[in-house]
Structure 1
């Protein structure tokens, strides 16, 4: 028999040793595959808590299935001062030793180097006279901490793929930490948002009650103004007329002047009361929204003011105006007040010239321009012109209650718009108001 075909006992032992090694390697890789399949457990439940102790316990168990450590410690970043603080050590009695070792690795520069590598590195221990594993706990964008470990076996007895698997586990741990923190942050923000919503809801409810009370007060005022104030005024006017009718011829010049002052004051008071009632009715007794042809509205206003327009010699140039959803009655009041304002504040011995035009804006609003060539006003006083009872310098000589433009402002704001005025003294005035093309409800 050929000697080469005979297996020596030494060869058989070598083969047996090789088979045992391969079986051990095979079992290790099967264990790794099983570990990989269960890696999702690290993330399970983390969004509901940021209990890092439990998470680090799980991480250590996963590491022990790949490579056995004599001892391990996890250091986590303190976000306030960016220091690394010991979070967990196993076994507990080694925590002082591992802390001291880490301090030496920081001084030597290995700690900073390990952070930049973002993988497992082996370094010589300074306090612990053996190989030390350093591996950062890091996500793609943020460092969460550092793991330091003492190998239980010489490196030659550890599978060659251990480093990559340790990285997979620790990267998953870092991501789980970040997910927990993000969840906690989101949860805190939701709680703050809920509180803010509750506070704002409470404030809105309080404002709603105040608004209802204010509206009721306005309604009460309207009743008082329309009845209680008008009644004595009517008596004053009536008795003034009786004085003139019954005793007119007997009155001397001074008494005649007194009577004229009383009549003039009564008429002015009547106008003021009417204007106040109109102002309060803008919000308390406004009409419904419906498509309103502003062309027809302005033409109706010009018909209503026909005698006033003829008397003043006013020339009104009317451009094309749109049809908008609006309170038609208030639109009529708006244009009427603006036209009367232009007629009233015209230059002496000059017929008023008034232009009414409109244009559509890209922001969904219609813009209207009412321009005149009257006495104008100082632009510095533009913010005062829409205040109730406000009569600007140079315009106070004209008759009027000082309420017309205040009513205009209320009407425009009720329709969700804005109104402004531009002018130069003795060069006319331009009133510009904007109203949305889609109005679903009117502001109170």
Structure 2
């Protein structure tokens, strides 16, 4: 089975994770795909193919003769899909793109417009795998899963390709920030690894945001508006005041590249109590710390103005820039560049404006840069992937683990 066929099969599994769940994995349905992958790896002939109690799938391929001394390399992708768009009943189809808009669903008049999705212009004449406009596609990250599975199968079928020991893992719950929570680094047995979880073909990433979450709970005093003068403390208005204290140009809608931001994700409440949930992002560690400190000062200012305890701020770090952990192992990047070039892919080193399992794993003793999958427009109904990207990335991975 090639990578395209695998991908079309895997996306039919509903594996959405749930950010509000307290279980691991956050949804049992992820284990359905996990069990199928473990069985497929076992049938290929990989060793110790299994899914553990947390829904992580592990297996390994022995080194070829004469390559036993090469350090083990790991390949990792996540099985879950984002909760940001419907994930059940995915109906993928392959279309040959000849330019212009793509009608995803004629009955419901759902169209992917070329004017809104400029990336389409690069793929005129290509076959694209698209959705029916009612669900996400799942290229994030079932494309990575399909590419790893197909690369490993290629190595099994071609024992003449020399390689060291290769460890494979598929994780749950990456989309809700928990993909590395129960990853067994020691049992995985790799010295270094790559996540295959990036975007367009050629992307190579070893820098990501430092990330934190912040919850702001505002405690107000509600009085009947008819007699509220000098008595009411409207928690909603104090919340708006807090938001207004943050730099207006430092939001996701105004930033790109290495520029960091504050992002208000959710706000709800009433005059008595209001909650605001933020994420804080910056590639630069010093600027990241300064952003968190600014929130503390803003909360302190409002507490001085409205009374102690009015604003309750909780800040929690999520993950850090993997660059600090990758820089001592830059041969990983050189190796990935060479593998892409050998497959006829032009490498593009770009900073991740987000995070991956690899960012956390790099701080758990497993240096782990990120490779592209070829997918575009993740987390929405306009997600697509060029079919030949699946084939090319399979080829890249074979070159990547091939003995030098």
Q: Same fold (TM over 0.5)?
A: no
Considering fraction of residues, name the structure with more helix.
1
> Which structure: larger Rg?
1
Considering fraction of residues, name the structure with more strand.
2
Q: Highest relative contact order (Cα 8 Å, sep 6+), 1 or 2?
A: 2
TM range (shorter): under 0.3
